[in-house]
Chains A and B, each alone.
Chain A
């Protein structure tokens, strides 16, 4: 296929002495390791909007399912062409609720991924799913498409909390959906929960955790409720209809979860994420076998593609339609146009929907490595990885802020790795800020 049918007029590329291979710096060292990419595919549709959610998703756009998938396929093919059919080791269908799409449309998406990209053996393919809408045949259909990991937005096991969160499902639906997914052959399942709801009772949270652990999912994500601007929840809080989440209470609930999950054999590998291990329980060297490999790409400041309305990507190389600018030598982050119809039209008209491009300077790339890497509470940021990625020493660049944070008890060195202390877990912003340029 001629790439120009997809990307008719790439913006002019301005290059200042472009390196031979943009993945390598002038001394020939690889910037990003040339490792396989993560691939994120955004499905911006939901049956209904939840009042706390600020994701780019819409209810009532069923008539756009078909043209949207057409556009996705075109965008997927366009990037594949532009990047020379790169290797991909994780695919993540996020949303929105990907499972609102009929199976044949999901199949079209995944088939075009398999055609245009070189999927690595054992590639992790995740789909988000809603406990309210899944039964066993449906999950079996997903499984047969090659999806091997499910992430379910359970959110709570308390009926009144689910009502407050505007979820269409009840506690029993979570159990039912989970069992249906297991029966359909899913051996890697994540459950999402939200804590720190206004006035949330600790015993309710404890009960939610207990019920979650009873299901023994491979992975758990526990998110402190954030009041995001432009959401109904935000307006409720502003008008005093709902009391704002209390940070002290949330901190307490979080620490409660830390203890319970550790006791149940889950390994916390990120601020809000826990995974089970294959190794024996209590083994100090145990690795979080079921950590989400797709998300690890993000936190390790690696390359990923984002396709779909409002999706974001990060590449360390230039590729149309991204303008390769001298200041972007250390990478570009971009975001696609967010509204669905506009996204489709842009893909149809010019083959891409890139709305903003954010060139990453060397200083910014290092700051991002810290901001993201320190979220990985076990592996942290290692001197070795930092030096390989940025060609500079971690101590040389950030010696002073690290010393200060150590003194405040927020970070610690464990061998070659800098990571958050238990206290630092709850003060991650303080830590991340210290590395951002003034």
Chain B
């Protein structure tokens, strides 16, 4: 299972990559593997400020529907435009092309509550 060392993780199987005062968010390799073929991603929260733990979108696999949770409080600045026509890139490249949203951080202190790669790895093994 691929768990990059330079990312932070949540118990909801999302990853966070900090870039300056913003962060990219996606779902982990473990999550995409559990979901199976991802066929639809609905994120309609661009421009909204959302608290950590609240829902920012939905991911649908062939068999299941799962909510996507904000890993950190902030504003949804950008939604990956590729997800609309190619949701399967979340399966093939969950940490790269399959990123989901870019957010601003309204409370950077929350970063301390995220897991590092080792803690995440032990949580899923």
Q: Report if A and B associate in a common complex.
A: no
Query: What is A's interface to B at a CB cutoff of 8 Å?
Result: none
